[in-house]
Structure 1
Amino acid sequence: MKKTLVSALTTALVVGAASTTFAAANPFSDVPADHWAYDAVSQLASDGVIEGYGDTTFRGNQNITRYEMAQMIAKAMAKSDVSAADKALIDKLAAEFSDELNNLGVRVSNLERNADNVKWNGQARYRYWSQRYEQKDGSTKKQNNDQLNFRLEPSAEVNQNWHVNARIDAFTDPSKDTDATVKLVRVWAQGDYKNFQVKLGKLPFYSTETAGMLLDSQFSGAQVTFGNQLKLTAEAGRWDLDNAINQSDIYAKATETVSKEDKTLKYSDQTASYQGIGLNGTAGKLYGGAAYRHFDSNLFKNVKGFKNDADEANIWSVGAGYTFDKNWNLYGAYAKNEKAESDATAHNIQLNYKGAQKANKGSWGAYTAYRYMGQNVAFAPTYETFLGTGVNNVKGWEVGTEYAPFTNVTAAAYYFNGKKLDNNNDAELLFGRVNFWF
């Protein structure tokens, strides 16, 4: 349906054109000062939203062309000195005409609109691990690691329901001053509807019911979630086992020592097909959930602690928490892998006090926890005391504290002291981290 410039100006009045006469020369000879649209035409012309036809006429009674309307919308959207309310109305006007004005001008207008819908978040952080292990002869093995990490997390709006999200990580070892390794860790499309959400791509892989005790990684596939207070989540795809299985335990069934060449040859297939379903909900101060996950890979046949010829992992898990007040929270979880004979269970209980809020300078928090982390079930836990350090398959106590010394800056220190599950030797670790958020 075509619209005349007079009717378009009626819409422009809604969009926010000034309704008071200003002292300026009449821009168009065919729009007298006593014309009902004079104020709107003069304001829009002064702002550069409309230009007329170059012969001092406006031709207000002429049908507007699609390209002319596209020009009006594009110029209005290009303005930077409009209020937030006016910008929202301009966007609605552009959306109203987008189907009718399917030409170059409208496409440019849409691109300008969508450019503002790409948001960037990220962080720069430094992490340090200092670990101590008791050896068979009673001596202590010491190992220190540190890491610099730069992370970007863009989110782009596709339409009112769909977004595209990604995560890009760069890692480097400051002790060696080597070049950074840059990875596109995640990229997925997300559709949000009332009581329904769908994710497609390489997306976050998190065991919500255990607060990350089992998994905090990413997998390639699909996830759908239904519900509001009580949410049902189903997901399926493929997951890389490279960082999930301790390489020192690969092929340990057959021999205590495996050559590097043999391990590399047999370890080439390191992905597992995956299916999972979980239920999570809240009821007042109580929250919790349960889940079942199935992984299928020939790699499991050669992993120490799995049942003979088991080429799958079947893991069920439960967790629950209670929020006492604004300061105190208690949470616990349990999980078991039915296809493993040893190191097949994990459980955790943690008491939290307050918490460091990056936007709130001076905020802080602390926690104490007991963790039992069987490596054949807790594949990729969220706890940073167990990330990338070889500190796994352990049980013991952990304490930690976090503090926000400045706005968008947080610092943390964690300490773990316990035993290795396979030999009961001492295991100890000190962890530190500084985050700069943006």
Structure 2
Amino acid sequence: MLKKSLICLTSSLIMMNMGTSFANENPFDDVPQDHWSRTAIVDLVNKGVIKGYDDNTFKGDQKITRFEMAQMVAKAMANENLSKEDKQELDKLQKEYHDELDNLGVKITKLEERSSNMKFNMNLTQKYMGGKQPNGPKEKAHYWEKYLSIGMEAPIGNSGYTMHALYENKHAGENLNHETQSSGFGTNGVTQAWIEGNLGKTGQYAKLGSFSPWSQKGFVYDGKIIGGELTHWYKAGATHFFGGRVYESEWDLGVPGSINWDKGPDYIEKGHSIQNPDGSWGWVSDVEHWSTKSNAYSDFTRHHKTTEVIRGGDTNWEHKDPTGEDDYGGVYKYDAKGNRISNSRPTLWGAGYEYNFSPNLQGTLAYYNFKSDAYGGDPLEIYSGMLNYKVGKDLNLQAQYAHGNQGGEDNAWNIELQYKGTPWINNRIPHNFGAYVGYRYMAPDAIVKGNFDGVLAGQKGLEIGMFYTFDENVNACLKYAFGEAIASGEDRDRLYASVSYEFF
């Protein structure tokens, strides 16, 4: 027995993949005009897949038999105007209702043959990034990148599960067409691979492998994990549970601040005596003062106990870390000389709930637990919320907030006005245009990994952007951000531009 609400959910996913323009007329008296599944139901009626009951009702809460479900599948299979995405969904449904369809005399041989085919998609993007950012000795930096991704999806026999994989390759450099392969983790090879599908008859949809988990549009965490996720959909929302090992580079998760040094306020000149930790006195012939508040190459340094370290040279005095914990604000342990002394892998787990208050208002609440060597090894617990409000036909207002439990800069927020749902405009429509303006406060102690191209982690400022499709699946993007680093107060600005080609 199946509930029709689950059927509506499946059809809703089909409609979203198709990008279909839905009809506005509601054919059933018992389906509210603002119900989340109305558009999918109307579209299925128009296609002749369902027709409801004689009293002009849909009875969405009533259970139906497998035979009734098979009849719907058979009607859908007979429709000659179905898209490629529709047919792929039907390939999955016909396996589940094979016996019932056979009793109806429906021939499914061709569908079974097609179900063994794999689906591919590819993205090729040329990017440019430049501006006043933490670039070591350079005032400004210019950075070019070529990005290639190839995605694959295939059914796993008749199990109802599908296998997914993503290959990514990045080449980057300071000059166009002179890029070299990017250093760092996961920039050349299969970076994601997972299986997904319904977990029996539990109502849970499961993912297992290396993938990007649900995370409120990437505000708190825009990255990958090696682990699992369970999702359960309701009439007006969904719950999400996920967890695993974090699969991202150190520089995207928070860097140590101990690699910078200067004289600082407590600098001790050469030729002076200084008391050793054991009470004896030594002669200072060479002293380095390390400042661990910020980093010369990134603003994403987390709150930490060690803010200043002084290390002696030729004397027996050497003060590496007054806390004794080698906590310099990174996700791995470093000593005062900048040497990494830890190889632990950070982990992330969390839960979220999303709810549709109305067709124009949606909200989410979530909890994240991020454990690394940062904060002395204590987990960073983050509580986050998000609201989306549809102001008009093409305008959307989005507000996000996150709070961490480890002190420092632990309140992050973002408010953004979007035109035509950017940055997810329909790229299959030639000459489509979208734009946005937003103010970000990407506090380093309230996020795990940032997701914006303009205002980066550890920064605050204004970001504006626009998107345009020159032709079907050919997209251009232009973004500009200006503000400052949260920890140091230094000015920041960044220009981001890209042209993407997508193939399906």
2:367 matches 1:292? yes
Q: Tell me the CA shift for residue 321 of structure 1.
A: 1.1
Q: Tell me the CA shift for residue 179 of structure 1.
A: 4.7
What is the TM-score with the length of structure 1 in the denominator?
0.66
Take 2:309 and 2:113, find their aligned partners in 1: how far apart are those partners? Answer: 62
Q: Tell me the CA shift for residue 230 of structure 1.
A: 1.5
2:243 matches 1:236? yes
Aligned pairs for 1:188-267 (under 5 A) are 188-192=194-198, 195-208=203-216, 211-228=217-234, 229-240=236-247, 242-249=250-257, 252=292, 253=306, 255=308, 263-267=338-342
2:63 is matched with none
Deviations for 1:216-259, whole angstroms, at most 9, x for unmatched residues?
11101111011232111111211146244332436832656999
1:70 is matched with none
1:106 is matched with none
Give secondary structure in 1 for the equivalent of 2:212: strand
Count of residues in correspondence between the two structures: 326
2:394 is matched with 327
- Contact between 1:357 and 1:364, CA under 8 Å: does it hold in 2? no
- Contact between 2:130 and 2:142, CA under 8 Å: does it hold in 1? yes
Give the aligned CA root-mean-square deviation in angstroms: 3.5
Deviations for 1:286-329, whole angstroms, at most 9, x for unmatched residues?
001111111223x114xxxxxxx352111110111101232100
Amino acid in the other structure paired with 1:202: S
Deviations for 1:105-144, whole angstroms, at most 9, x for unmatched residues?
xxxx99955432x1001200011111214999xx981011
Q: Tell me the CA shift for residue 369 of structure 1.
A: 0.3
2:403 is matched with 336
Take 2:134 and 2:222, find their aligned partners in 1: how far apart are those partners? Answer: 28
2:413 is matched with 347
Give secondary structure in 2 for the equivalent of 1:384: coil
Take 1:96 and 1:369, find their aligned partners in 2: how far apart are those partners? Answer: 51
- Contact between 2:209 and 2:226, CA under 8 Å: does it hold in 1? yes
2:480 matches 1:415? yes
Take 2:81 and 2:459, find their aligned partners in 1: how far apart are those partners? Answer: 54
- Contact between 2:213 and 2:229, CA under 8 Å: does it hold in 1? no
Amino acid in the other structure paired with 2:189: K
Tell me: CA distance 1:289–1:383, structure 2 relative to 1, closer, same or farther (3 Å).
same
2:430 is matched with 361
Deviations for 1:191-228, whole angstroms, at most 9, x for unmatched residues?
137853111111213422xx322111110111101123
1:22 is matched with none
What is the TM-score with the length of structure 2 in the denominator?
0.58
Take 2:254 and 2:401, find their aligned partners in 1: how far apart are those partners? Answer: 21
Amino acid in the other structure paired with 2:144: D
Q: Which runs of 5+ in 2 are unaligned?
A: 1-79, 100-109, 260-291, 293-305, 311-327, 329-333
Tell me: CA distance 1:417–1:84, structure 2 relative to 1, closer, same or farther (3 Å).
closer
1:10 is matched with none
- Contact between 1:330 and 1:349, CA under 8 Å: does it hold in 2? yes
Q: Which runs of 5+ in 1 are unaligned?
A: 1-82, 98-108, 302-308
Give secondary structure in 1 for the equivalent of 2:448: coil
Higher helix residue share: 1
Take 1:398 and 1:329, find their aligned partners in 2: how far apart are those partners? Answer: 16
Q: Tell me the CA shift for residue 429 of structure 1.
A: 0.7
Take 1:114 and 1:434, find their aligned partners in 2: how far apart are those partners? Answer: 33
Q: How high is the sequence identity, in percent, across the aligned residues?
A: 21
